[in-house]
Amino acid sequence: MTSSCGAGFNRQQLNHGLIVSVQAPEGSPMRHPDVIAAMAEASLRNGAIGVRLESPEHIGAVRERCPNALIIGLWKRSWANSSVYITPRWHEVKAVWGAGADVVALDATDRSRPNGEDLESLVKRAKDDLGAPLMADVDSVENGLRAAALGCDWIGTTLFGYTEQTKESRPPGLHLLKPLRAQLSAETMLICEGGIASPQTASEAIAEGADAVVVGTAITGVDLQVASYHRHITRQTD
């Protein structure tokens, strides 16, 4: 596959836009590929500049329905010997790229990966063998700068608040944006993702230096949103 976006997708094209994460939890009827593709199309029709998708199956379904969409792809896989689950190995990188993603997102924290694989080798192989643009999902300024130095094209604050080192903090990691933007090259895209629950927070992320924002649960998280409303209503009526 030849990417139409990714590394060659410049800041002017991102244009401080919205990328919608269209995902659903295991067991949800919302995980059906046709449902994911419909939500992706609706997002793109209403102004999203791209979508972030989980699993080769969902990437393929959206690519078929929305052939010109900018797709950031990942594949979540859990392992007993590692807390890294976002595109953890070469197998997942290759599958996500082969399914039609323009950018492959992967965990780029300093945690140990499953099966003894390491981030540096994974990035190098993705570049050498696939020519794939990469989005580094990180939890800190240090890990973001390290990922960029290794060759990742996009840096996202996705994992702030979700790693062992940051679990006591609440996303979004807006405070990471200014120091990252100040130290990253002009060619490296900076993405704010994780915990963005309102248009106001999205705008704040752009003001802090993000080239684009990724919003998921607040837009497409039907299961989580309904469960949250239900809990609050039930709590008041008990």
Domain holding 21: CATH number? 3.20.20.70
Q: Please, are residues 189 and 153 in contact by the beta-carbon 8 Å criterion?
A: yes
In a domain, 205, yes or no: yes
Query: What local confidence, expressed as pLDDT, does residue 238 receive?
Result: 63
In a domain, 230, yes or no: yes
Name the pairing type of β-strands 50-54 and 17-22.
parallel
Query: What local confidence, expressed as pLDDT, does residue 161 receive?
Result: 97
Backbone angles phi, psi at 207, to 5 degrees: -65, -30
- The closest alpha carbon to 123, from 87, 158, 156, belongs to 87
In a domain, 1, yes or no: no
Query: What local confidence, expressed as pLDDT, does residue 5 receive?
Result: 41
> Any idea what DSSP says for residue 188?
S
Query: What local confidence, expressed as pLDDT, does residue 10 receive?
Result: 59
> Any idea what DSSP says for residue 216?
-
Query: What local confidence, expressed as pLDDT, does residue 4 receive?
Result: 36
Expressed as residue numbers, the domain containing 113 is 6-237
Domain count, the chain: 1
What residue ranges of the chain have pLDDT lower than 50?
1-5, 7
CA dihedral over 117, 98, 184, 181, signed as positive or negative? negative
Q: Please, are residues 135 and 104 in contact by the beta-carbon 8 Å criterion?
A: yes
